[in-house]
């Protein structure tokens, strides 16, 4: 098997998020988050589960850092729990919450693992939701305050900062499709929420730059290339509409300082934006949003194939079952090269991290201590080969974070979808390395991926 070698200094990591792994939902002074509330409503989570304990990382974090050391990682991307740090949403922070991340950062640095901090991985304090949540401009202000608190405490040691994780998910899944917290179904509200997320990114970036030492400030977007199911004009139009809302609605304001006019026109046509007015966009907001990004985080899982539905609305066309992960997402590594080419080429991004990439599959029980998950390994290998191609094309990718270190609370899917390199027994918290963890460890150690042939 040929080895595809990565450049010296390429950063190898894993990613997690607070709500998905910490547990201890009502310990250490933590407040309720919108996901705690959302998960309490029957029907919202596939297996009826709650993120109360999940991986119990809050108590097992030392052990989890040991797993990262065993993998040989150079970096760890995690999120600080907003509800843990600001249980009342605004005002005085919870010192115990800050202490937790402070100790985590120190232990990571002592283990030679560089911390990459994400401030908002979806766990908005419920009290802020009660005051309007992301639909309210006040929440953007509250986020900037939260960014100030965290960067003030960790900014002497943390260099890599991400404001939001995947604002599309928060806006569209949370406010239009209703399958994520807070579970609203209001397309106009979704655009308002998206704007406040983006605006708060700009405000927070400014705060972090003031507080932290030599910071690199970015945002993490989920990007997916849209491809037409057939070359018909209707299917290509479906692609335009998907791409407009999923990718360009975020890339354009962040990197060009404007919202895509065609998407606004789509919304007007559907009666979702009367008169095309976006009163929530104030003078000067776009200049704030467009603050230079030091780096862009790209989360990539799949492409999206689209056809025009009977009502003309874009409809995602599923791939053949053997090409799907357990999430129903098509395995399509070339799409990663495509999105990287786009952000570097069309949008001029000069530094990119692959902040998430990974796959859920049903894992077999351990046999003689081995958990055989060859499909996850193949997924990671093929996507890393794509990253290698991207680098050979001259695209500025600095590192790769596998999603995820541990099986965890997969949002609306609860514990039914497993992305971990390590299996977690949710009854007793025990972790066990899957074969993919052994493979990732070899890959990290070699700084090279086998080409699978």
List residues binding ligand FCB (CB under 6 A): 17, 20, 165-166, 169, 222, 299, 356, 403, 410-411, 419
Left, alpha or beta for 284 (phi > 0: left; psi -120 to 50: alpha)? left
Q: Which residues are known to be catalytic?
A: 166, 356
Give the span between the Cα atoms of 380 and 359, in whole angstroms: 8
Give the span between the Cα atoms of 377 and 380, in whole angstroms: 5
Minimum distance between the CB of residue 410 and ligand FCB, rounded to whole angstroms?
5
Handedness of CA 365, 367, 371, 377 (dihedral sign): negative
Minimum distance between the CB of residue 20 and ligand FCB, rounded to whole angstroms?
6
Nearest of 42, 141, 47, 117 to residue 416 by alpha carbon: 47
Nearest of 376, 433, 212 to residue 384 by alpha carbon: 376
Minimum distance between the CB of residue 168 and ligand FCB, rounded to whole angstroms?
9
Minimum distance between the CB of residue 190 and ligand FCB, rounded to whole angstroms?
16
Residues forming beta bridges with residue 114, ordered by sequence position: 75
User: How many CB atoms are located within 10 Å of the residue 156 CB?
Assistant: 11
Nearest-Å Rg of the Cα atoms of the chain is: 21
Six-digit token pair at 416? 């039914």
Minimum distance between the CB of residue 324 and ligand FCB, rounded to whole angstroms?
14
Handedness of CA 97, 132, 259, 393 (dihedral sign): positive
Cis peptide before 66 (omega within 30 of 0): no
DSSP annotation of 412 reads G
């Amino acid at each position: 098997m040929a080895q595809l070698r990565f450049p010296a200094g390429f950063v190898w990591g894993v990613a997690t998020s607070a709500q998905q792994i910490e547990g201890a939902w009502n310990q250490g002074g933590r407040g309720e988050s919108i996901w705690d509330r959302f998960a309490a409503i029957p029907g919202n989570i596939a297996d009826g589960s709650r993120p109360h304990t999940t991986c119990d990382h809050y108590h097992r974090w030392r052990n989890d850092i040991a797993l990262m050391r065993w993998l040989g990682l150079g970096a760890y991307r995690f999120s600080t729990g907003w509800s843990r740090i600001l249980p009342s949403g605004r005002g005085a922070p919870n010192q115990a919450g800050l202490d937790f991340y402070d100790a985590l950062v120190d232990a990571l640095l002592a283990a030679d693992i560089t911390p990459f901090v994400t401030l908002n991985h979806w766990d908005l304090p419920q009290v802020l939701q009660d005051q309007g949540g992301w639909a309210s401009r006040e929440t953007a202000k509250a986020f900037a305050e939260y960014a100030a608190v965290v960067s003030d405490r960790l900014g002497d040691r943390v260099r890599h900062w991400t404001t939001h994780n995947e604002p599309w998910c928060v806006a569209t899944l949370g406010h239009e499709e209703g399958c994520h917290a807070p579970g609203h179904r209001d397309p106009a509200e979704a655009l308002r929420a998206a704007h406040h997320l983006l605006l708060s990114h700009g405000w927070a970036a400014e705060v972090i730059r003031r507080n932290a030492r030599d910071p690199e400030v970015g945002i993490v977007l989920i990007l997916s290339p849209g491809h037409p199911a057939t070359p018909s004009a209707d299917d290509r139009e479906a692609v335009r509409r998907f791409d407009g809302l999923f990718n360009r609605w975020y890339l354009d304001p962040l990197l060009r300082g404007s919202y895509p006019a065609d998407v606004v026109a789509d919304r007007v046509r559907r009666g979702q934006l009367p008169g095309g007015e976006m009163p929530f966009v104030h003078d000067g907001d776009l200049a704030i949003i467009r603050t230079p990004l030091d780096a862009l985080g790209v989360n990539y899982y799949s492409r999206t194939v689209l056809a025009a539905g009977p009502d003309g609305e874009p409809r995602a066309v599923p791939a053949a079952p053997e090409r799907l992960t357990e999430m129903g997402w098509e395995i399509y590594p070339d799409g990663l090269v495509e999105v990287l080419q786009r952000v570097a080429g069309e949008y001029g991004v000069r530094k990119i991290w692959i902040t998430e990439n990974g796959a859920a599959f049903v894992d077999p029980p351990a046999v003689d201590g081995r958990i055989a998950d060859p499909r996850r390994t193949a997924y990671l290998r093929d996507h890393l080969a794509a990253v290698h191609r991207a680098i050979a094309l001259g695209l500025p990718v600095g590192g790769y974070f596998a999603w995820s270190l541990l099986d965890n609370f997969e949002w609306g899917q609860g514990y039914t979808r497993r992305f971990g390199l390590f299996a977690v027994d949710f009854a007793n918290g025990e972790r066990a390395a899957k074969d993919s963890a052994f493979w990732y460890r070899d890959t990290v150690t070699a700084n090279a991926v086998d080409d699978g042939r």
